[in-house]
């Protein structure tokens, strides 16, 4: 059931949509605090699935082998004993990539922990991401895409994998809807949250979710599809500078919520900042 819920996540929809139109990128970054390893298996299965219908079908032999980590054409590149991957490991990847896939149509290299990739490693990888054989695919898992060099990032499609706890809460969705109703509605909504004696964890979850939704809306502005309905609403309602400003406000208050115990004070401070954000000012 839990697994099922994850496959309804935004990232899963994005992978399915791309796989359906045969536009799933050969280089994907899965970024965020969620279960990126599961997302990586899902993306690898989308590359290797033989179903005529939805991909990954998670039923065919190819999908099942990927999900059980026994597919011969999926290579997990990590070092569980040392902090960083060695030059030897990366050279091995370079050799592996040029060995044709065994039973699938593609060879998929998964890097489950990009913290292990030094800039030198990334430079070597950049070459094979750019010039490797057509059947090669790469999946990079990382808490934040900033851990990867801009040169790598520019070759990849980035998908956001939020944690269970970061799954967008209904409070976050409600707050984002209110943003589209204007200044006065924002004021009333935040005052009502204050009066509801919201707990700090609930506020953090709300602000976190709102941050995520505004980030998704910004991505939609640049043509990346999103599964979140509220993100689509935000994207339709606001210009990129306004979304940017709002996203900046939520980002700031995510930090604020972590050390400020006074929920009322945080909400009070957020009112003028959000109103400024609505005018596109940070």
Binding residues for Zn ion, per CB under 5 A?
A: 49, 51, 56-57, 60, 63
Q: Nearest CA to 16 among 198, 227, 205, 271?
A: 227
Of 49 and 203, CB closest to Zn ion: 49
H-assigned helices in 77-179: 87-97, 119-131, 150-153, 170-179
The distance of closest approach from Cβ of residue 112 to Zn ion in the complex, given in angstroms and rounded to an integer, is 21
The distance of closest approach from Cβ of residue 60 to Zn ion in the complex, given in angstroms and rounded to an integer, is 3
CA dist 261 and 20 (Å) reads 47
Residue 91 CA: distances (Å) to CA of 63, 86, 88, 252, 272: 28, 9, 5, 41, 54
DSSP 51: -
Q: C-alpha angle 260/209/211, rounded to 5°?
A: 80
Asked whether the CA dihedral 49, 92, 116, 152 is positive or negative, the reply is negative
Of 44 and 270, CB closest to Zn ion: 44
Of 60 and 124, CB closest to Zn ion: 60
Q: Nearest CA to 135 among 181, 88, 172, 99?
A: 99
Of 71 and 171, CB closest to Zn ion: 71
The distance of closest approach from Cβ of residue 249 to Zn ion in the complex, given in angstroms and rounded to an integer, is 42
Of 57 and 269, CB closest to Zn ion: 57
The distance of closest approach from Cβ of residue 49 to Zn ion in the complex, given in angstroms and rounded to an integer, is 3
Token digits of residue 135: 């059947």
CA dist 208 and 213 (Å) reads 9
The distance of closest approach from Cβ of residue 103 to Zn ion in the complex, given in angstroms and rounded to an integer, is 13
Token digits of residue 269: 């401070």
Of 46 and 228, CB closest to Zn ion: 46
The distance of closest approach from Cβ of residue 110 to Zn ion in the complex, given in angstroms and rounded to an integer, is 17
């Amino acid at each position: 059931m839990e697994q099922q819920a994850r496959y309804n996540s935004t990232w899963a929809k994005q992978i399915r949509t791309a796989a359906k139109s045969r536009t799933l990128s050969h280089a994907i970054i899965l970024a965020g605090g969620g279960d990126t390893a599961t997302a990586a298996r899902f993306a690898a299965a989308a590359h290797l699935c033989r179903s005529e219908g939805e991909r990954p079908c998670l039923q065919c032999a190819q999908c099942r082998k990927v999900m059980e980590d026994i597919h011969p054409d999926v290579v997990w590149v990590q070092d569980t004993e040392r902090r960083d991957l060695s030059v030897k490991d990366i050279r091995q990847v370079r050799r592996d990539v040029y060995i044709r896939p065994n039973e699938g149509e593609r060879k998929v290299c998964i890097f489950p922990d990009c913290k292990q990739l030094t800039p030198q490693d990334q430079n070597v990888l950049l070459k094979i991401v750019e010039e490797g054989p057509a059947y090669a695919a790469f999946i990079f898992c990382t808490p934040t895409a900033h851990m990867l060099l801009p040169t790598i990032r520019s070759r990849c499609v980035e998908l956001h994998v939020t944690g269970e706890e970061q799954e967008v809460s209904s409070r976050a969705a409600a707050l984002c809807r209110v943003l589209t109703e204007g200044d006065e509605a924002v004021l009333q909504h935040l005052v009502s949250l204050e009066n509801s004696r919201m707990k700090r964890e609930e506020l953090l979850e709300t602000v976190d979710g709102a941050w995520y939704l505004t980030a998704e809306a910004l991505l939609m502005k640049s043509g990346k599809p999103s599964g979140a309905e509220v993100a689509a609403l935000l994207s339709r309602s606001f210009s990129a500078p306004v979304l940017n400003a709002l996203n900046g406000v939520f980002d700031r208050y995510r930090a604020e919520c972590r050390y400020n115990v006074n929920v009322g004070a945080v909400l009070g401070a957020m009112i003028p900042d959000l109103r400024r954000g609505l005018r596109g000012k940070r």
